[in-house]
Homo-oligomer: A and B are copies of this chain.
Amino acid sequence: MKNNTMVYSFKNDYSEGAHPNILKAMMDTNGQQQDGYGEDDYSQEAVTILQDMLQNKNADIHLVSGGTQANLIVISSILRPYESVIAANTGHINVHETGAIEATGHKVNVVDSQDGKLTPEGIKEVLDAHTDEHMVKPRLVYISNSTEIGTIYKKNELQALQSFCKSHHLLLYLDGARLGSALCSEENDMSLAELSKLVDVFYIGGTKNGALLGEAIVILNDELKKNFRFHLKQRGALLAKGRVLGVLFAELFRDDLFFDLAKHANAMASKLSDTIKELGFHFLISSTTNQIFPIFPNEIIEQLNEKHAFYIWCQIDDKSSAIRLVTSWATKEEAVEGFINELKKIVLQK
């Protein structure tokens, strides 16, 4: 067993299976005969629930199995061969998808960012450097909310991006692998429906917020809707038993389960953060979502590692490093308390 029972993992938000409601719904619907490839009743139900939540019956919604799949399909469906996508250096598509975007033929233009977010200024620098047919033509802006380092976009920041994009013939795509955590952050100031009015296309991450698998691609811009299922099929994203994604998302958005799960994840992260701050430690970056990046002396990290699994994010100096702690819908409060007690004990011993 890689994660033996003595070690509790804060490595990521996909360490456990699915929320029990979802498994129950899968069992309840299991024997019903349904059409394949997403044309089943459950997928239709999930779409309707999401459209209602978005207050937008014209939103096109497609359920796929994972985030890299969602990203490569959405991006390649939009771009002409010579067009590129702009992303922050920390953007998931830039480093952590094994060149999935480039494999569909497109360049990722990178903007260096301290907080994982893009701004109109950063985008403008890319536009200014791409002036003629000897260079790619930037056409799409890729952002993540929450970002890969735990930060979130405020409503006015998204509005500024939308406005800039509209005036510069750019489209805006939001990767919502951890959208639940962003929207349930204490800093957040917009609803899912409001957010959906500020982008051309985005996806709602299920995998990292209680589903077994699954992300819901939401296309708002009419021009991006046409023949989207052809793209899905061509990239291997149409599951024969698409019903499983329908059941998952219908359950996740019935009675706000999605948001309840995200709130729990954030609360667990806050609980960790609060104590860590109280003990006098600093953070690589301030985060109000389910990923936090505290900085500890290396010897403390070693001791913590005995009973807890997590990633070392980066070295700060010779003596200390930032680690990443990720919480989720499944994180147990007693595990968080266990981590806190362990940390306190270590600090006291010194």
Interface, chain A (partner B; CB < 8 A):
1-3, 8-9, 11-12, 14-18, 20, 23, 26-27, 29-37, 39-41, 65-73, 76-77, 80-82, 84, 95-100, 102-108, 110, 129, 133-137, 207-208, 212-213, 227, 229-241, 243-244, 330
The dominant DSSP class at the A interface is: loop
Which of A1, A80, A82, A230 is most buried by chain B, counting CB atoms within 10 A of its CB? Answer: A82
CB atoms of B230 and A133 under 8 A apart: yes
CB atoms of A106 and B102 under 8 A apart: yes
B residues near A29, Cβ cutoff 8 Å? 17
B residues near A31, Cβ cutoff 8 Å? 16-17, 330
A139 to B258, CA, bound (A): 41
CB atoms of B66 and A84 under 8 A apart: no
CB atoms of B32 and A240 under 8 A apart: no
CB atoms of A136 and B99 under 8 A apart: yes
CB atoms of B99 and A82 under 8 A apart: yes
CB atoms of A98 and B16 under 8 A apart: no
A40 to B27, CA, bound (A): 24
A98 to B208, CA, bound (A): 30
**Shortest CB–CB separation between residue A80 and chain B, in angstroms?**
7
**Shortest CB–CB separation between residue A214 and chain B, in angstroms?**
10
A232 to B66, CA, bound (A): 12
B residues near A69, Cβ cutoff 8 Å? 236-237
5 contacts between A and B (CB under 8 A): A8-B33, A20-B30, A82-B230, A82-B233, A133-B227
CB atoms of A68 and B23 under 8 A apart: no
CB atoms of B99 and A41 under 8 A apart: no
CB atoms of B30 and A236 under 8 A apart: no
A244 to B30, CA, bound (A): 16
CB atoms of A2 and B41 under 8 A apart: yes
B residues near A15, Cβ cutoff 8 Å? 33-36
**Shortest CB–CB separation between residue A311 and chain B, in angstroms?**
12
A96 touches which of B103, B134, B231 (Cβ 8 Å): B134
